[in-house]
Homo-oligomer: A and B are copies of this chain.
Amino acid sequence: MRVEILCTGDEILSGKTINTNYSHMARRLGEVGLTVHWGTTVGDDREALLRAFRQAAERADAVIVNGGLGPTVDDLSQEVAAEACGVPLVLSEYWMTRMEESYARRGRVMPPNNKKQAMLPANAEFIDNPIGTACGFAVTIAKARFFFTPGVPREMRRMLDEQVIPRLLKIGGITGVTRLKRFHSFGIGESRADNMLADMEAFTNGAIKLGFQAHFPELETKLLARGADDAALAALLKPIEAEVRKRLGNFVVAEDDQTLEGVVLERLLESGHTLATAEMVTGGLLASRLAPLPGAERAFRRGIVVRDAAQLGINGISTEAAEAIGRRLREESGASHALALLVDLDGADRGADRPDLAGTVCVGITEAHATVSRRAHLVGNRDWIRSGAVELGLDCLRRHLLGLPVDERIDFERR
């Protein structure tokens, strides 16, 4: 089945807004086994929209149109859809009532121009939007089914998942349910992860599709599975997930919607621990991963950010220095745990940025009766070293809190 995405709006066409709606839609479709063959962007222009609808209708079996469903005069999607179908716009009494009720619940009167959002092509199939005033709809132009979705990202995302994708799967004769299982790892590159996993039978026989996406410094490992129903899917995935978890081992820092910092915070809160951090050269990146999280007010006591070793009372960086700073930080802050992250850009702190700079990282973790430390030599440009160092520091803390070794060698290190 040939699926296209057609994005509308002057803000997108002119580049003023980066088109993240497109990439979200294309990725989500790929995750459920649908492939996008063509993308089009046009502005809020009647002639261009009509032409784009007609050309897409010739190429595709299904087209998702995004944007142009708002209440203002430059929102043209319904009008141009009706023109392309050769039908008039008619009022959806149902949607009009829903919008009026929604305004009434908030003690407001619906502005008159919102009526425009309830005017749909006479032949349209209504598509619900439970969280906004722009309802979706579907019509057939030439041989293609067109799905119209709102430009507001959260409204589009929900409509795509709940309404559009099920209809697309039906059109494509794709039955059953789909699930995307995700593992987030730190310390192994894409090719090594591929080597660790690709020979598993479920991947080689095509029962489950294996994919990777690098979000430096993390790697996302994706398992895309399809089953007749939820029970069959769970039975298919369970042993495979367990095997992947076992093979990637301690490198898995989080799964699905979890984050590394979220896992660390959860573990701290569960155990009633509290934390203080000190970071040198990473410029607040470590603190800014943890401190703003919901619930962090109960665990995050204090973060210290410095550029220069002298501000921490040390001459240079070492694991001993990291441990000593951790001990002092615990005392001063009253936190149960301290994490010290010291980075030295190997004299490359000045001059032009280059992808082959290097940096030494020393991590020290201190609690009442234990101290652990880790030293690593990372390669990359400055931002790469900084974000790699922050990830390493957080991962060492995760490993320590979970009783895992903190000194497993990672792919980004150079001896």
Asked if A287 is at the interface (CB within 8 A of a chain B CB), the reply is yes
**Closest residue to A59 on the B side, CB-wise?**
B51
Asked if A154 is at the interface (CB within 8 A of a chain B CB), the reply is no
* Docked complex Cα distance between A292 and B18 (Å): 26
CB distance from A51 to the nearest CB of B (A): 8
Asked if B283 and A285 make an inter-chain contact with CB atoms under 8 angstroms apart, the answer reads: no
* Docked complex Cα distance between A59 and B54 (Å): 14
**Closest residue to A333 on the B side, CB-wise?**
B311
Asked if A342 is at the interface (CB within 8 A of a chain B CB), the reply is no
Would A30 and B48 be within 8 Å (CB), given that A305-B284, A308-B301 are in contact?
no
Interface string of A9-48 (1 = CB under 8 A from B): 0000111111110111111111000011111111101001
Collect the chain B residues with CB atoms within 8 Å of residue A302's CB: 304-306, 311
Asked if A324 is at the interface (CB within 8 A of a chain B CB), the reply is no
**Closest residue to A352 on the B side, CB-wise?**
B294
Asked if A307 is at the interface (CB within 8 A of a chain B CB), the reply is yes
* Docked complex Cα distance between A26 and B12 (Å): 9
How many of chain A's residues touch chain B, expressed as a range? Answer: 35 or more
* Docked complex Cα distance between A38 and B39 (Å): 11
CB distance from A151 to the nearest CB of B (A): 15
Interface string of A37-68 (1 = CB under 8 A from B): 11111110100100110010001000000000
User: In chain A, residues 277-303, which have Cβ atoms closer than 8 Å to a Cβ of chain B?
Assistant: 277, 282-288, 290-292, 294, 296-297, 300-303
Asked if A386 is at the interface (CB within 8 A of a chain B CB), the reply is yes
CB distance from A216 to the nearest CB of B (A): 13
Q: Which of B39, B51, B305 interacts with A305 by CB under 8 Å?
A: B305
Asked if A297 and B308 make an inter-chain contact with CB atoms under 8 angstroms apart, the answer reads: yes
- Residues of A in contact with B (beta carbons under 8 Å apart): 7, 13-20, 22-30, 35-43, 45, 48, 51-52, 55, 59, 213, 277, 282-288, 290-292, 294, 296-297, 300-308, 311, 333, 349-350, 382, 386
Q: Which 9 A-B pairs have the closest CB atoms?
A: A15-B26, A284-B287, A283-B291, A39-B41, A303-B305, A284-B288, A283-B292, A284-B284, A15-B27
Known: A16-B23, A285-B292. 6 other contacts (CB 8 A): A15-B28, A39-B41, A297-B308, A301-B306, A302-B305, A302-B306
